[in-house]
Structure formats: structure tokens, C-alpha cells
A = this chain, B = another copy of it.
């Protein structure tokens, strides 16, 4: 269904290295490994039942992603992700999401436009029924459509990265309070601006949507919940 062709991601989750990478990544993002904790190749290998080779390859990727720091001949240390990092990413994402909305206005296909309208229609329905899981999925999908419609491999890749980083926080936010209605309303605003070919309005609406999501998160104190892991 979704077109993931252009996404650059660790391509196989089924190889040992892929599994190791995703496991360690998850454990860092969820706080199981604390800040500055040293990760040892053999220990992690034994825990997952693999040799050092896939662990080392996973480490190299995590290093590039900024989740760990490797000091040559010494060790790998968790960099983690702080409250300020999350805040900064939201603000960066706000700017780039605006750019995505602008470009989507110029490049969206009829098919994508239809899916976007349908997405909002369904969101409103499920919001009225309180179907939280569907709302979360539709919310995620809305952003994916936007990223695909902007027709930029680079921007799409970047925004998907940001999205993943904050996904854990965002999911809680949506499922634990009443923001979903406001969120759908903001999606609708973005969609209508795109449909009206008003790139300026689309950009601003997308900017605001992400800032609102962030502010809502702070207001609800879920931010601190995140910090505790």
C-alpha cells in the first residue's frame, strides 16, 4: 500500500544484524540502556545469541545515527536522547513539515489527494467513536501521505527519521488525552490549503500543527514521563 521505495532504512529486519540493530536501538530509545552506559560487544552478542560481527555492524549504524558514541579501542557509550533533544527535533520538524506541505501543494497526485481526504473523513468518524487505535494509525498515515506527496526523497527520508525518533512520545500523547480532535482539525486545514493550491497557507498550517503537538505534549506532562523512560 504505502510506497516505501525511497526510504533509506536498515533494509532487513530478519538478518541477525538487522535484529541486533533494532533491538539495541529500541532499548536505547526506551531507556533500558541509560545515558553513558557502556555497551560491550560480547555481552550483547551473548544476550541475543549472536557473535560479535553483527553486533559491531549494528554499533556502527547506531553511531552514525548519534545514539551511541564509539571511542576507538575503548568502547561504545550510549548517547541517549534528552528532553531538549526531543524539543529541538519538534521545532526542526515543524519547519520541514511546513516545507513538505508547500511542496505537496505543488506535487501531490490526484490519488494522494484522494487518500488524504479519505484519511480525514475516516479520522473524524473514528474520533467521534473514540476508536483510539484507528486514530493513531490514521494520524501516522496522514503524515506519510504528506511526505510522499512532497515528491522529495531527501525531505521524506528526513521527516520519517524525525517521526521515528519522537514516535514513542507522540503515541502516548495521542492516546492519553483529547488532542486527537484538534489534531484531525489541523490535518484538515493542511489538506484544504493543499487542495486550494495555497502553498503559503499549507506551510503555515503544517508549521503550527507540529508546534501544537509539541506544546500539547508539554502541557500534559507526558514529556517528563518520557524522560523517566
Residues of A within 8 A of B (CB): 8, 10-12, 14-15, 17, 53, 56-58, 60-61, 63-66, 69-72, 79, 84-85, 88-89, 91-92, 95-96, 98-99, 152-155, 157-158
Docked-complex contact B70 and A11, CB < 8 angstroms: yes
16 intermolecular pairs with C-beta atoms under 8 Å apart = A8-B64, A8-B66, A10-B63, A11-B63, A11-B69, A12-B72, A14-B72, A15-B72, A17-B60, A56-B57, A60-B61, A61-B63, A64-B64, A64-B65, A89-B154, A95-B98
Residue in chain B with minimal CB distance to A59: B57
Please name all residues of chain B whose beta carbon is closer than 8 Å to the beta carbon of A12 when the two chains form the complex.
Answer: 72
Tell me, in angstroms, the Cα distance from A89 to B156 when the chains sit together. 11
Copies in the complex: 2
Given A56-B57, A60-B61, A64-B64; A154-B92 close (CB under 8 Å)? yes
Tell me, in angstroms, the Cα distance from A91 to B14 when the chains sit together. 36
Please name all residues of chain B whose beta carbon is closer than 8 Å to the beta carbon of A157 when the two chains form the complex.
Answer: 66
CB distance from A83 to the nearest CB of B (A): 12
Please name all residues of chain B whose beta carbon is closer than 8 Å to the beta carbon of A58 when the two chains form the complex.
Answer: 60
Tell me, in angstroms, the Cα distance from A17 to B89 when the chains sit together. 30
Which of B17, B92, B153 is A96 in contact with, Cβ under 8 Å?
B92
Q: A10-B63, A11-B63, A92-B158 are in contact. List 6 more A-B contacts (CB 8 A).
A: A8-B66, A57-B60, A64-B65, A85-B153, A92-B96, A92-B99
Please name all residues of chain B whose beta carbon is closer than 8 Å to the beta carbon of A71 when the two chains form the complex.
Answer: 11
Docked-complex contact A85 and B154, CB < 8 angstroms: yes
Docked-complex contact A88 and B11, CB < 8 angstroms: no
Tell me, in angstroms, the Cα distance from A220 to B155 when the chains sit together. 25
Docked-complex contact A88 and B15, CB < 8 angstroms: no
Please name all residues of chain B whose beta carbon is closer than 8 Å to the beta carbon of A158 when the two chains form the complex.
Answer: 92
Docked-complex contact B8 and A154, CB < 8 angstroms: no
